[in-house]
Structure formats: C-alpha cells, structure tokens
Amino acid sequence: MTEGLQHFVYILFSEKCNRYYIGYSSDPEKRLQERHNQGYVKATRNCKPYVLKKMKSFPSEMEAINEERRIKSYKSRTYLEKLIIENW
C-alpha cells in the first residue's frame, strides 16, 4: 500500500451503456484516459467512452479501498446518483 499521496474513489458513467463504474486510484483522470477509455479494463471495455462524474480524495489507499467496497456493497444505482448530486 502506498502512503503519502492522495488516493481517490471515483465514479465513471457511460452514456453508451447507461452504466456506472466505481473504482479507486491515485490519479483517476489518468486512469480514465489511459486504461478505461483505451479498453484495457475488462469491466469497462464494451461501454467506452466513460466520463468522470465524481471523485473524492482519501489520505490513505486503505481508506479509499474501504470506501470503494462500501459503495459497491449497496449495489444501488439510486445511491450512486445521490452521491453524484450531493456533496459526498
């Protein structure tokens, strides 16, 4: 785990498939451009392009991972859209 730099949980959206994707990274914009929208991530490959809808920073990688898991555990599109609209 890398400490000392910020880590982010991010929410992507694909208009093509009307689908959200949740992930974590130390550089979400770079990950979006170089991985998700280039087809290197299996989960997002068929629905590109994705756009970054929201991201939140965390002081440690472990906190970001825990938040990503917490959000995914809801399995709720409504909850994701609430996070995007409100000040998450």
pLDDT of the residue at 65: 98
Backbone region of residue 42 per phi and psi (left: phi > 0; alpha: psi in -120 to 50; beta: other values): alpha
Q: Is the pLDDT assigned to residue 84 strictly greater than 90?
A: yes
Domains of the chain: 3-85 (3.40.1440.10)
pLDDT of the residue at 2: 53
pTM greater than 0.95 (yes/no): no
What is Dmax (Cα atoms) for the chain? 37
Helix (H), strand (E) counts: the chain: 3, 3
Whole-number Å distance between alpha carbons of 74 and 31: 24
75-86 average pLDDT score? 95
- Tens of pLDDT, residues 14-72: 999 999 999 999 999 999 999 999 999 999 999 999 999 999 999 999 999 999 999 99
